[in-house]
Amino acid sequence: MIAEIDKRISRALAGVRRVFRAVLGSVNTAGPVVMASGTGLADEPLSDVELMQHFGFTSAPPPGSMLVVVPVGGASSHGVIVATEHVQLRIKGLQTGETAVYNAYGDYLLFGKDQTTTLKTKNFVVDSETTTIKASQGITLDTPKVEATQELAAAGAISGSGGLSVSGGSGANIDKLEVENDATIGGKSYLNHTHHTPDGESDPPS
């Protein structure tokens, strides 16, 4: 009796497709839901299968990605992709608790276990109305050149060891200026310049 029941259950389940793996062929991200096509491991074709993704995150996996497909109602034609993976492109060697976001082109954002966040990319663009960076100890810009296309304002002192060059615009307004050594103004030395007077050449400023 029990054996007969088991046989009937097995026959019924045989017609129900269970969760299976597949390989991605292409994706279409133009619609409201990402649609994917590929091939199941049993060589069955998959066409326009919904690729479900978590809110706030979206991606277009490259061809060759591995898929986990859940056949809704047991039918492959009504499958939903619930997970993707790409063994060649995935960032490897993460430590316990670390998280990374990456793409197929070598860019990644890594949240490390030592509370160091690393962003690697070729061009980084921030598009916002205002941007605020709070660093309680300091900011280091390790770059050969820093440019500002418009005004630059500093509430504190500006110091430098490589010199200062200003050109163009309407000049400079300085409330107070202290110069430790000589200053050249209009090609003339301030400490060593003289003036022509009716009594002859004047002495340099004392």
How far separated are the first and last CA of the chain, in Å rounded? Answer: 120
Q: Could you give all domains of the chain from N- to C-terminal order, each with its CATH number?
A: 2-85 (2.40.50)
pLDDT grade, residue 200 (50/70/90)? confident
What are 42-90's pLDDT values in tens digits?
Answer: 888 999 999 999 999 999 999 999 999 998 876 666 789 999 999 999 9
> Of the given ranges (4-18, 65-79, 89-103, 130-144), which has the lowest mean pLDDT?
4-18
* 87's tokens: 């063994």
pLDDT grade, residue 198 (50/70/90)? confident
Whole-Å CA distances, 102 to 26, 75, 138, 139: 19, 33, 28, 25
CA proximity to 78, closest of 43, 34, 47, 38: 47
- State how far the Cα of 66 lies from the Cα of 23, in Å rounded to an integer: 5
What's the pLDDT at 123? Answer: 98
H or E element, residue 2: helix 2-14
Whole-Å CA distances, 193 to 39, 95, 199, 200: 86, 68, 16, 14
What's the pLDDT at 165? Answer: 81
Residue 141 has pLDDT above 80, yes or no: yes
What are 8-26's pLDDT values in tens digits?
Answer: 555 554 554 688 999 999 9
